[in-house]
Amino acid sequence: MARIRVAIVGLGRLGRLCAQLVGESPELELAGVCRRDASLTLPLPPGMLRVPVAGHISELGRVEAALVCVPTEQAPSLVTELLQHRVSLVECATLDDAALPAYYERIDVLARNHRVAAIAGAGWNPGVLQHFQDLFRVLIPKGHTQLTTSPGVSLHHSDLVRGIPGVRAALATEVRAANGVRQHYFYVELAPEQQAESVREALAADPLLAGEEILVFPVDSVSALEQRGHGVLLERAGTAGAGVHDTLLLEGRFDPYAFTARVMLDAARRLPHTPRGLQRYCG
């Protein structure tokens, strides 16, 4: 059976992991990678030196699927462009819950109009985590769900802070405070002349973070922090009543980049059998 030719759009950490996994997959073939114009002359990671690189997906020849691995703020415009060029795609953008329905609706309209397939939410969150939550609710219809995440690595937002002068490296995550307010944590490795408060002010001025609570934490080594990974604890307890008091517990520690890359490749394998229009990743 012929392999599916996929292109990777964006060559950050997620894109590099996807490229590595595509190279190991018997069902997929790497057609090439797309990078921003400013990154076209940058060296490729080891093991990818012979991979075709282009500024636009049309330069890569036959492409049957695109894996969208760009920062969240770039995803909507890029997805629109790919669908208008009739390229089927897999995406995993971590948009705010309130913005996702309109985003997915637009993908569905574009994919149907241009007669291609798109699989959205093909990542850890949004994606697999929601399926665990839904399954827990099916098994325990009457109960309460508690989700706790430990600080880890956000898939996309780190790029917001890396461009600030004096920031050598950065990692980001989102957590919910006890009062339910969403907080953005930025762990930054700073040059001697840079101050954490200046970084926080620069982030607060970014439209993507307007009105959000931002906390900046200087660290000695971002790479050391990165090794700590990401943790999740999902618990659903049934409502007290007669009989057994049902409880389900999912606990894990993992690299969300690796999980998302594996999910995106699984979705890419399904694309040839996916109807035109938008499909949410279903595992």
The residue behind tokens 């607060």 is 204
Tell me, yes or no, whether 246 lies in a domain.
no
Does any domain span residue 35?
Answer: yes
Q: Is residue 242 part of a domain?
A: no
**Which structural domain range is residue 93 located in?**
4-124+257-280
* 131 token code pair: 């399926």
The predicted structure's pLDDT at residue 241: 64
Please write the tens of the pLDDT for every residue from 157-194: 567 787 789 998 888 877 665 556 677 888 888 998 89
145, part of any domain:
no
Three-class DSSP category at 23: helix
The residue ranking higher by pLDDT, 63 or 217, is 63
Asked if residue 157 and residue 119 are part of one domain, the reply reads no
- Among 119-123, 131-135, 253-257, 272-276, which is the least confidently predicted range? 253-257
- Whether the per-residue pLDDT at 137 is higher than 50: the answer is yes
Strands (E), the chain: 4-9, 28-34, 53-54, 65-68, 89-90, 117-120, 143-150, 167-176, 182-190, 213-218, 230-238, 247-254, 277-280
**Do residues 119 and 77 share a domain?**
yes
8 against 177, higher pLDDT = 8
Domain tally for the chain? Answer: 2
CATH number at 275 reads 3.40.50.720
Looking at residues 82-106, what average pLDDT do you find?
93
Task: Give me the phi and psi of 209, to 5 degrees please.
Answer: -110, 15
| CB of 209 closer than 8 Å to CB of 203 | yes
User: Across the chain, what does the average pLDDT equal?
Assistant: 87
Q: Are 161 and 167 in contact (CB under 8 A)?
A: yes
- Number of Cβ within 10 Å of residue 213's Cβ equals 13
Kindly state the average pLDDT of the residues 42-58: 89
DSSP reduced 3-state for 98: coil
74/171 same-domain check: no
The pLDDT score that the predictor gives to residue 161 is: 82
What band does 151 get if pLDDT is binned at 50, 70 and 90? low
258-272 mean pLDDT: 96
